[in-house]
Amino acid sequence: MSEPRLSVRTVAVDETEPLIPRTDPRNPLVWLRRGEGIVGLGEVLRIEASGPDRVDDAAAAWQALAERANVHDHVGLPGTGLVAFGAFAFADDSEVPSVLIVPELVLGRRDGRAWVTRISLSTGDDEQAEPSSDGRGRRASDEPEIPEPAPKRRVPHVEFRPGTMTPERYEGAVAEAVRRIDAGEFEKAVLARQLVGELHEDDGLRATINRLAEDYPDTWVFAVDGLIGASPETLVRVDHGQVSARVLAGTTDRGAGEASDRDRAAALLDSAKDRAEHALAVASAVKRLEPHTARLDTSPEPFTLQLPNLWHLATDLKGTLGDGASSLDLVRAVHPTAAVGGTPRKVALAVIAELEGFDRGRYAGPVGWVDGDGDGEWAIALRCAQVDPDGTVTAYAGCGIVHDSVPASELAETVIKFKPIVEAFGG
């Protein structure tokens, strides 16, 4: 059986807005921030991988597919041409597969320009040629049909309940992690818990995604294979040899008023506990990215990142690739960061598996997109939920545990972090 070959054509269009209402309500593919990005419809093929080599295996399969593809890209912006939406499992032994999904249709907006990409399986050598002109100096497929936006629907109402990691168990796990940190076993581990509910409305996912995009415009709003969320943390972005990332670690809730809010941000910036946790996460990212870069710069000092429901300590990393690595190569190198795993990495991951006691699936794993050249944008799947085919919705939130973490405070922080996804499902 011959290997699949893809035919890809991207053309400029006048407008693709609104993007989210044009997505498939049952299987949305979305990657947006501040109203710009890409959405996908349909599925030409998917690449699935599991185990410790899941990113490498998916990257190799993707590269082989991209090399065989016949691409005509008349726009040339990030997200045009051949692209796949992806979501990877957090843990090496996860039972949830990692996926790269190639859609049939991609609608995109960036820098004031809009485009449509059609992707199909090639049927023969005739796919090598550009479509013929319609006699008016314009190719017949230059103005492809764009799906009409669906009517706005109400946000579904999902009643969430604690998962296997109850609030009481979570506080106990935090206390045990602190005990082991104080005993010198490791420096930091990120512990998460889940909330579980049931989705009954057929069209609920589109309304949920739209709610996230409206309420959290400065995050990466994503939907890939049932994984839906709004992440503030850029794992890695690669664009024509330039690489960037944003590290978040250290959190506090917003103040009730303007003065209180400023005080909370200042207290976070001055917090020895939060700055120590943040420094571990930055050091982890730099250590993993530096071998692939000719230059890598970081923010001189952490800064406070304001979101509607909380403050984060943040550091930006920017540099130039030195070894031609693709975005998936860097995903493999940096995942899991200390911001979602811990330090030292191997010990922290073992502690997470033991104390959490559940499969994270794709929570805290890489989510994003990759193009045929290997460029792409990837975030860490945070403030998210996995929607299974049977309608089960599992939301996740976690906190970095260090030596002076207080169990009740960490539990309260998870409540804050659950807020975006719980409210997006009408909770």
Which residue in this structure is represented by tokens 């249709």?
Answer: 105
Q: What per-residue confidence (pLDDT) applies to 427?
A: 80
Q: Can you give the residue range of the structural domain that contains 29?
A: 6-122+156-424
- 132 located within any domain: no
Angle at 408 (CA atoms; ends 406, 412), nearest 5 degrees = 115
Per-residue pLDDT for 139 more than 60? no
10 Å Cβ neighbour count for 1? 3
Residue 144 belongs to a domain: no
Give the pLDDT confidence of 317-352 residue by residue, as tens digits: 999 999 999 999 999 999 999 989 999 999 999 999
- Kindly state whether residue 30 falls inside one of the protein's structural domains: yes
**Is residue 1 domain-resident?**
no
CA distance 411 to 253: 13
Helix H or strand E segment including 328: helix 327-334
Q: Is residue 362 part of a domain?
A: yes
Report the 10 Å Cβ neighbour count for 415: 12
230: CATH = 3.60.120.10
Q: Report pTM.
A: 0.92
In this structure, is residue 50 part of a structural domain? Answer: yes
User: Is 48 marked active-site?
Assistant: no
Looking at the domain assignment, is residue 130 inside a domain?
Answer: no
Q: Among this protein's residues, is 233 annotated catalytic?
A: yes
Active-site option among 36, 188, 356, 377: 188
Residue at 70: amino acid letter: N
36, 152, 214, 233: the active-site residue: 233
Domain count, the chain: 1
Query: Which residues are CB-neighbours of 197 under 8 A, at least 6 positions away?
Result: 158, 159, 160, 161, 392, 393, 395, 425, 427
More confident residue, 204 or 222: 222
Q: Quick one: tokens of 56?
A: 């490498």
> H-helix or E-strand containing 424?
helix 407-424
Residue 128, domain member (yes or no): no
The pLDDT of residue 137 is above 50: no
Angle at 424 between CA 421 and CA 426, to 5 degrees: 115
CA dihedral 396, 401, 405, 407 (to 10 degrees): 40
* Range 44-48 contact pairs with CB under 8 angstroms and sequence separation of 24 or more: 44/6, 44/102, 44/103, 44/104, 44/119, 44/120, 44/121, 45/4, 45/102, 45/121, 46/99, 46/100, 46/101, 46/102, 47/84, 47/99, 47/100, 48/97, 48/98, 48/99
Q: What is the pLDDT of residues 254-308, one digit of tens each?
A: 988 899 999 999 999 999 999 999 998 899 999 999 999 999 999 999 999 998 8
